Amino acid sequence: MSSETFFAIFPGIFTHPSRTWEVIRNLDLKPVRFFLFFGLPFVFLGALGRALTDQSHDFYVNSSFVILLLVHVFAHLLVLLAGPWMVARMAGTYALEPGFNRSMRLAVTCYIPFLLSQIVAALVAAISIIPMAGLIYSLFLYWHGAPVVLGIPANRLTGFTLLSFFIFLGLGFIGLYLLRMIIFAPVSLH
């Protein structure tokens, strides 16, 4: 992968998203390598930010920071690996065949602003609206990227984008809150 391709994706997702969609659609890179270059570093940064934020809350102060970090890494991995698979499977109901590779590229690329917003919110706690802005921008990117990358026709774009968004959001909440409940639930032996 060339540096031009890397910079077209990041920071291109912020500066020139339409060019980014063309690059990831035509990128000849295996899904594992794409995820290692663009997914994993941002997953770690997002999880780090979320763990720092959680540890500042009273409930998680006594929890191990490493465990909090692992919980958030796992939740983000669940969203970015299971989500695109579910979206690719759902595309069959729309008579489309985007495949896991393109779905994963689009999901990872669109998720970058949300992951970066987590670390920014942890560092600048006074701006707690940043994660919501990152989530809205991620949804905006997905809306504009789905027709180009996945070939979603305009008449099906709204339904497809909303269903995809709820899949990703649901996986994030389920993964995060189930893990928190399992790991941090108080245990009492009677």
pLDDT at site 186: 58
Phi and psi of 129, rounded to 5°?
Answer: -85, -10
Q: What is the mean pLDDT of the chain?
A: 84
| Gap between the Cα atoms of 162 and 54, Å rounded | 28
Among the residues of 56-156, which ranges form H helices?
65-90, 99-123, 130-145
Convert the pLDDT of each residue in 137-170 to its tens digit.
999 999 999 999 888 888 888 888 899 999 998 8
Please say whether the beta carbons of 106 and 142 come within 8 A: yes
Q: What is the mean pLDDT of residues 39-47?
A: 92
Residue 126's pLDDT band, with cuts at 50, 70 and 90, is low
Would you call the peptide bond into 11 cis, given omega within 30 degrees of 0 as the criterion?
yes
pLDDT score for 140? 94
Q: What angle do CA 13, 154, 114 make, to 5 degrees?
A: 30
The per-residue pLDDT for range 64-82, each reduced to its tens digit, is 788 888 888 999 999 999 9
pLDDT, tens digit, 9 for 90 and up, residues 97-125: 668 888 999 999 999 999 999 988 888 76
Q: Distance of alpha carbon 60 from its chain centroid, rounded?
A: 23
